[in-house]
A = this chain, B = another copy of it.
Amino acid sequence: MGLAKTEMFTDNQNEIALFAKAFGHPARVAILQHLFKINSCVCGDLVNEIGLAQPTISQHLKELKNLGLIKGDVEGTSVCYCINDASWSKMKRVMSEFLDQDLTKNGDCC
């Protein structure tokens, strides 16, 4: 039905899925990489940097902002975006715990 049954999963599993979904589109990956690269706020040139229409970029930015991964401060007529360092670190801990699971290589299968 296009609707994930989140109620049957743990908070941790749902949280991982939410973060992962945010990274599940190359435009959002590109936005975040650019914010890291310039290591500062970016005011507006994201539409030029990435090749999508302005409303589309705005929508992707909104998703990242809703998740808390970026901040957007109004600066006169433009808006200043940057990584939310604290949220990014928190997300990194959650994702790393998931990704860094390790196999003890018991090798009795496959």
Chain A interfacial positions (CB closer than 8 Å to B): 4-6, 8-10, 13-14, 16-17, 20-30, 32-33, 36, 39-41, 50-52, 71, 73, 80, 82-83, 85, 88, 91-92, 95-96, 98-106, 108-110
Contact = CB atoms under 8 A, between A and B. Distances in A.
Contacts of A23: 16-17, 20, 98
Contacts of A100: 92
25 contacts: A4-B25, A5-B51, A13-B26, A13-B30, A16-B23, A17-B24, A17-B26, A20-B20, A20-B21, A20-B29, A21-B21, A21-B25, A24-B24, A33-B98, A33-B101, A36-B103, A39-B104, A39-B106, A40-B109, A41-B110, A73-B110, A80-B110, A85-B105, A88-B103, A92-B100
